[in-house]
């Protein structure tokens, strides 16, 4: 599969490394930077999860989910080894962690067993990179962070549509994307070259050990709010009450849905290169 779907290769290589590691603390030292950009020979799973706890607290507060979370179910697209999933399992009545890499999901179960509530967790493998294997209208909230930028644009759009399929009518979708920045003129072509090298026997395994090559390899797409809404509309998805969030210094281009301009908001904790969509399923 990885040869035909090169954008999945760096993740699968990192997943394999996490599978080969002795314990979860070693996984964090070897692949934790894949998720939160922190490096160091003394990092531990506890510190790694603490970064996720902090972010979950921020986002639940920002999107006013803190008080109701304990009655809701959430599905996380791209959970990785569970950096944020542990906090989701503590805050929500149930959580479905999904990822393209099955080894990450295995590690995610370990992370939640140590730092979350394992009885609240279920995992689902997105084997093809774009189909979420859960039933229609089965969760209250769908959340994704630093994942949709790492798929092909086609997969990012399909996963967005999937988010609206699996969320219940009236349920909430909260998705994070990356926008174009000038550096992309270099990053995106370099990413194509690195992903091709990842597919080569032995070379890929070696590249997956280094931060520079993995970071280049995962640079896969930038989609705009207009592209996302156009895709959803063209597939008959009804999006209610959409809102866009961005860093205060980076307003997004004006975007309309069904002739109504989508409101934009500052999200100070957002990375400058990120944008977020929140909406309800119609």
| Site residues, ligand SAM (CB under 6 A) | 11, 34-35, 77-80, 83-84, 99-101, 104, 126, 129, 145-147, 150-151, 155
CB of 268 to ligand SAM, least distance (A): 18
Residue (126 or 237) nearer to ligand SAM, CB: 126
| Whole-angstrom distance, CA of residue 276 vs CA of residue 282 | 19
Half-sphere exposure of 167 (CA within 13 A, CB side): 32
Q: Length of the chain, please?
A: 282
Nearer to ligand SAM among residue 97 and residue 237 (C-beta)? 97
> Would you say 60 or 257 has its CB closer to ligand SAM?
60
Rounded CA gap, 145 and 152, in Å? 16
Q: What's the closest the beta carbon of residue 77 comes to ligand SAM, in angstroms?
A: 6
How far is 198 from 6, CA to CA, in rounded Å? 8
Strand-pair category, 260-261 with 256-257: antiparallel
Strands 167-178 and 274-281, sheet pairing: antiparallel
To ligand SAM, the closest distance from the beta carbon of 185 in angstroms equals 22
| Nearest alpha carbon to residue 157 among 92, 76, 237 | 237
Closest CB 84 distance from ligand SAM, rounded Å: 5
Q: How far is the CB of 103 from ligand SAM (least distance, A)?
A: 9
Output the smallest distance, CB 257 to ligand SAM, in A: 25
Give whichever of 133 and 189 is closer to ligand SAM, judged by the CB atom.
133
The full DSSP string for 106-143 is HHHHHHHHHHS-GGGEEEEE-TTSS---S-TT-EEEEE
- Residue 256 bridge partners (DSSP): 261
Nearer to ligand SAM, 79 or 213 (CB): 79
Nearest to ligand SAM of 83, 109 (CB atom): 83
């Amino acid at each position: 599969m990885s040869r035909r779907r090169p954008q999945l290769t760096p993740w699968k290589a990192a997943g394999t490394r996490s599978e080969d590691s002795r314990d979860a603390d070693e996984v964090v030292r070897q692949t934790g930077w894949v998720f939160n950009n922190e490096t160091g020979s003394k990092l531990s799973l506890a510190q790694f999860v603490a970064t996720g706890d902090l972010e979950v607290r921020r986002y639940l507060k920002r999107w006013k989910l803190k008080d109701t979370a304990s009655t809701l179910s959430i599905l996380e697209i791209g959970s990785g080894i569970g950096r944020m999933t542990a906090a989701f399992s503590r805050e929500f009545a149930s959580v479905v962690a999904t990822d393209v890499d099955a080894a990450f999901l295995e590690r995610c179960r370990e992370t939640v067993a140590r730092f979350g509530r394992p009885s609240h967790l279920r995992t689902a493998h997105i084997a093809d990179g774009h189909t979420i294997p859960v039933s229609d209208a089965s969760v209250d909230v769908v959340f994704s962070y630093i994942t949709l930028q790492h798929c092909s644009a086609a997969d990012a759009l399909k996963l967005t549509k999937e988010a609206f399929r699996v969320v219940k009518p009236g349920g909430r979708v909260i998705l994070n994307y990356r926008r174009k920045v000038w550096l992309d003129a270099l990053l995106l072509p370099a990413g194509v070259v690195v992903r091709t090298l990842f597919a080569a026997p032995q070379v890929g395994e070696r590249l997956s050990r280094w931060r520079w090559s993995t970071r280049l390899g995962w640079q896969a797409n930038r989609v705009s709010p207009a592209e996302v809404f156009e895709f959803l509309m063209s597939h008959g998805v009804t999006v209610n009450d959409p809102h866009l969030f961005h860093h205060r210094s980076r307003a997004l281009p004006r975007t309309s849905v069904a002739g109504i301009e989508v409101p934009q908001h500052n999200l100070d904790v957002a990375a400058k290169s990120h944008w977020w969509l929140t909406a309800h399923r119609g």
